[in-house]
Amino acid sequence: MIRAVGLISGTSMDGIDAAAVEITEDSPLRVKSRACLSRPYPKEIRETLATLCRPGAGLALDACRVSMVLGELFAEAALTVIEQAGWSPDQVHLIGSHGQTTVSDFGESSTLAGYRAFSTLQLGHPAVIAERTGITVVSDFRARDIAAGGRGAPLAPMLDSLLYGAPGKARVLLNLGGIANLTYLPASGDPAEVIGFDTGPANMPLDLLVRRWSGGRDAYDHNGVLAGGGRVIESLLACLRQHPFVAQPPPKATGSEEFGEAFIEQVLAWAPDASHADVLATLAQFAAETIGDAMTKWFPGTEPLLDVVASGGGTHNPALMARISAALAPTPLRTLDRIGGDVDAKEAVLFAVLGYLTLRGQAGNLPSVTGAVRSVPLGSITPGALGMVWPGLG
Amino acid sequence: MIRAVGLISGTSMDGIDAAAVEITEDSPLRVKSRACLSRPYPKEIRETLATLCRPGAGLALDACRVSMVLGELFAEAALTVIEQAGWSPDQVHLIGSHGQTTVSDFGESSTLAGYRAFSTLQLGHPAVIAERTGITVVSDFRARDIAAGGRGAPLAPMLDSLLYGAPGKARVLLNLGGIANLTYLPASGDPAEVIGFDTGPANMPLDLLVRRWSGGRDAYDHNGVLAGGGRVIESLLACLRQHPFVAQPPPKATGSEEFGEAFIEQVLAWAPDASHADVLATLAQFAAETIGDAMTKWFPGTEPLLDVVASGGGTHNPALMARISAALAPTPLRTLDRIGGDVDAKEAVLFAVLGYLTLRGQAGNLPSVTGAVRSVPLGSITPGALGMVWPGLG
C-alpha cells in the first residue's frame, strides 16, 4: 500500500488544497482519502500572485521568488495533512504537487524563433517541498504533455477513468473550480474513447467580482446567496454566448487569460448599470449553459448518460448547481461524495495519483483528451533524500 | 561505463555548450570527454533573454515561453553532441542540463511573507529535452542547495574535488566565464576543507561593452586585442575596487545583477571620456586583482599553492590571462588542458557529472562552498520514457 500526498492551488489562487491518500495497487487501482485540508494563502502572497497574473505586469523575478515561498507553504500543508492522517513523514512514499498555475499561454499560434512556445508555469518549488519534508516530490505535470504536442490539460480525466467509471454506462465527471472541466467516460471503459476538456468558466468570474465588490473581504459568494437572488440579464447573456472559447471544439483548455480580470472588465462594460446579484446570476447561467451545451455539441453518438457527477468549490453554490441541473435535465446531476469521492479534495487526490503513476513509470496523460501525440510520463521527480538510485543507470 | 551529456548556457547568454562524456565508476571517478560543442542562440532568443534580464522588464510569461523554446535548442545541442561522440541516443544514460540562468536573486535580505525568497531561475524546460531525446534529464541543480540554506552556487568545486585534486598539494581551479569563480582544493584532499566562491567579474562586463560598442556585431574582444592595447585608468580602477562584492567574505556568488548592464552603465559614467581599449584594460585588471586578492584574503593557512588552473572563455583572452598571471605570481597559472581537462567544456562536463551523482543518489553540493546546512541531492529527474520505476515505492 502506497501513502501519497497531493497538493494543488487552483486558478482562484486563494490557497492550497492538500489530500493524504492510500493507494492500493489492485486492478483497478483503489484510492482511499485519509485526510484533506484547505489552507488560505497569506494576504501578501495573494497580492503577489494577483500582480503576477496581470497582463504585462508579472515579472519573472517575482515569479521566481514567490515560487520558493510557495514551496514553503506547500511543504507546511503537506506536513499538516500527513499529521492529520495519523502518519509520520517517513511513512509517506511521495508527494504529487501540481503547484500554483499563474502564467499560461494557451494560444495555438504562439511561436518564438520558429518554435512552438505554448507554455504554462507552475509555482511552488519542488526542491523546497522535498527539502522540508524529506519526501520525494513529483511536480510540473503539464509541461511534458505540452512537449508531446498536447495542451497539458485537462489532467483529471486520467483519475476519473481509473477510479470513477460506471461499467456498462456512460458517465460524466464535472469539476467546478475556477474553470469548469468535464470528463466523458464511455460505457466501453476504453481510455482511448475518454473525452475531457474545459467547458468555460465556473467560479472564477463570480469569485473575482465578489472579491472586488466586497473590497477583498469575501473570497466568494457564500452559499450562492447573491447569485441566487438575481435574475438573468438576457442582453448580457447574449454577449457572453459569443465568447470564442464556447464555439471552439475540444480538446480545449482555458484559464485566467480568458476568464479572469480582463473578462470581468468586459462583463461590467456590457452591463454597467446591472445589480451585483443579476450579474452573478447571469454568469452562473452562462457557466451552466456552456456545460449543458458541451454535452450535446461535443459528445459522440447517442449513448444515454447515467449521470453527471460534480466536484469542486462550485458544488457549494446552490444557485450555480440549480442552473447546471436545469441545463442537464433529464440527466441527473450528483455530487462526487455520492459515488465515494470527496467533492473538495478531488484535484488534490488527482495529483497524488498522477505522482504515483510517474514513479511507477506509467503514463499520466490521455492523448485523446489533451491532444498529445502519445502517452508520456508526466512531471519531474525531486528526490526526498540521498541514497535513492535511479534504475536507468544499470 | 555511463554515457552522459552535459548542457549549459552561461551568464553571457550567447549560446549552449554541450559535452558528451564517459564516466567510469572507479574510485576516484574517471571522466573522459568524447565530444563537445558550442552552438550560438538565434538572434531572437538572445534579444528575448536580454529583455528578461533587464531589471523591471522581464515578464514571467516571456520566461515561460522562452523556457520551452530553449528546451528545443538544448535538445538539438544534445542530439548533435551525441552524434559527434559516435553514440545513438538510446545508448545515453542521462542528460544533466543546467539550463540558462536569467533571473537570480542573491540578496540575503530578500523575504516575502516572512520567508526567505532567495531564488534563481533556470530556463530550458527538461520536459522538452526528455521528450525530444527520450533520455532521462536531471535539471535545476541550484534550487535544492538554496532550499538547504545555501546560495546554490558555485557548483564547480564538487567536480574539481572529484577530478582535479593534486594529491599532497594545494591547487586552485579558476573558471573564467561571465563571472570568475575559483575552487581551492586543500593538500589534504578533504572535501570539507574545499573552498569555492565567485571572485567577481571575468568576461561579462568586457563582453557587454564590446557588444554595445560594435552594435552587436562582436560578441567579445577577439583574442583580447582591444584590452591588450589599452592602459589601466587608475581613477576608474579605484572606483571599481570599492564594489561591495569585493569585500564580502565567502561563501559568495554573483551574476548579472551586480556585474551586468547596470554595472557597465556605472563604469561608463565613472570614465566618460576614456578610450574603449583603456576601459577594457581596466576591467581586465579589476578582474585579475579580485582573483589575486581573493587568494591572499580568503584562503586558510600558509600552504603554498602548486598552481592555479584556468578554464572558460576568458582563457582565450591573452590580455586578461597576462594580468591574472601577474596578479598570481609567483604561483604559476596553467590552463585546464595541461592537466587533462578541456578549457571550453568544463562547465558542460560539470553538469553531466552532477546529473550522474543525482541519479546515483549522491550529494552534488559541497556545504563548505555553498553555505548549505547539509549535503543534498541536486536537481529534479525527468524520465526519458515510460517504464522507469522509482525505487522508493517498495
Q: Are A118 and B131 in contact (CB under 8 A)?
A: no
Say whether residue B262 is in contact with chain A using an 8 A CB cutoff: no
Closest residue by Cα to residue A49 from A115, A102, A99, A7: A102
Domain boundaries along the sequence of chain B:
2-153+351-393, 165-339
Q: Domain A165-339 belongs to what topology? A: Nucleotidyltransferase; domain 5 (3.30.420)
Mean pLDDT value across residues A56-74 = 89
For chain A, say whether B123 makes contact (Cβ under 8 Å): no
Question: Each residue of B100-128: pLDDT tens digit?
Answer: 987 665 555 578 888 888 878 889 999 99
Give residue B134's region: left, alpha or beta (phi > 0; psi -120 to 50). Answer: left
Q: What average pLDDT does the segment A105-117 reach?
A: 73
Contacting residues for B280 by C-beta, under 8 A, at least 6 apart? B206, B209, B210, B221, B226, B227, B230, B319
Q: Which residues contact A5 (CB under 8 A, 6 or more apart)?
A: A18, A19, A20, A21, A78, A81, A82, A92, A94, A95, A96, A135, A352
ipTM of the complex as predicted: 0.89
Contact A118 B68 (CB under 8 A): yes
Is there a common fold for A2-151+348-393 and A165-339?
A: yes
Asked if residue A104 has pLDDT above 90, the reply is no
B265-292: pLDDT as tens digits: 999 999 999 999 999 999 999 999 999 9
The model scores a pTM over 0.80: yes
Interface test with A, best of B90, B115, B123, B138 (most A CBs within 10 A): B115
Task: Using DSSP bridges, classify how beta strands B305-311 and B170-176 pair: parallel, antiparallel or unpaired.
Answer: parallel
Pairing of strands A333-335, A305-311: parallel
Residue type, B304: P
Between chain A and chain B, the number of residue pairs with CB atoms below 8 A apart is 238
Q: Is B51 exposed, middle or buried (0-12, 13-18, 19+ CB in 10 A)?
A: middle
Chain A: residue whose CA lies nearest to B114:
A69
| CA-based nearest residue in chain A for residue B362 | A386
B365 to chain A, minimum CA–CA distance in Å? 12
Q: What is the Cα–Cα distance from B211 to B190, expressed in whole angstroms? A: 42
A chain contacts of residue B387, beta-carbon cutoff 8 Å: 361
pLDDT at residue A13, rounded to an integer: 82
* Range scoring the smallest mean pLDDT among A100-114, A124-138, A177-191, A293-307: A100-114
Which of B365, B383, B392, B364 lies closest to B93 in space, CA to CA? B383
Q: Which fold has domain A2-151+348-393?
A: Nucleotidyltransferase; domain 5 (3.30.420)
CB contact B60 to A (< 8 Å): yes
Asked if the Cβ–Cβ distance from A393 to B93 is below 8 Å, we say: yes
* Mean pLDDT over each residue of chain B, to the nearest integer: 92
Pick from B59, B119, B125: CB nearest A56: B59
Instruction: Give me the residue from A59, A110, A146 closest to B58, CB to CB.
Output: A59
What residues contact B56, with CB distance under 8 A and at least 6 apart?
A: A59
What integer is the mean pLDDT of A184-204? 92
The string of pLDDT tens digits covering residues B54-93 is 777 788 888 888 999 999 999 999 999 999 999 999 999 9
Q: How far does Cα A124 stand from its chain's mean position?
A: 16
pLDDT band at B42 (very low <50, low <70, confident <90, very high): very high
Return the closest-CA partner of residue B152 out of B94, B197, B100, B204.
B197
Considering CB atoms only, which of B143, B384, B392 is closest to A93? B392
The average pLDDT across B169-192 equals 93
Residue of A nearest to B122 (CA): A64
Q: What is the CATH number of domain B2-153+351-393?
A: 3.30.420.40
C-beta of residue B364 within 8 angstroms of C-beta of residue A331? no
Q: Which of residues 169-188 of A touch B (CB under 8 A)?
A: none
User: Is A51's Cβ below 8 Å from some Cβ in B?
Assistant: no
B46 Cβ under 8 Å from any chain A Cβ: no
Grid cell, residue B127, equals 520536459
Range with top average pLDDT, A6-15, A42-51, B310-319: B310-319
Does A223 touch chain B if contact means CB atoms closer than 8 Å? no
Report pLDDT for B64.
87
Cβ contact, residue pair A389, B360, below 8 Å:
yes
> A361 and B48 in contact by Cβ < 8 A?
no
Dihedral of the alpha carbons of A365, A367, A368, A370, in degrees to the nearest 10: 70
Q: What is the mean pLDDT of residues B169-193?
A: 93
**CB within 8 Å: B380 and A382:** yes
Among candidate residues B381, B387, B329, the one with its CA nearest the CA of residue B355: B381
Average pLDDT over residues B165-175: 93
**A135: closest CA of chain B, how far (Å):** 10
C-alpha to C-alpha distance for A123 and A53, rounded to whole angstroms = 12
Which among A15, A19, A18, A49 is positioned nearest to A32, based on CA atoms?
A19
CB contact under 8 A, A144 and B131: yes
Position B352 scores a pLDDT of: 98
B121 touches A at CB < 8 Å: yes
Q: Which of B121, B126, B363 sits opposite A386 (nearest CB)?
A: B363
The nearest alpha carbon in chain A to B118 belongs to: A65
Asked whether B3 and B26 are in contact (CB, 8 A), the reply is no
B375: which chain A residues are within 8 Å (Cβ-Cβ)? 386
Beta bridge partners of B101: B122
Instruction: Please report which confidence band the pLDDT of residue B394 belongs to, taking 50, 70 and 90 as the band edges.
Output: confident
Task: Map residue B54 onto helix, strand or coil.
Answer: coil
Give the β-pairing of B94-105 and A111-112. unpaired
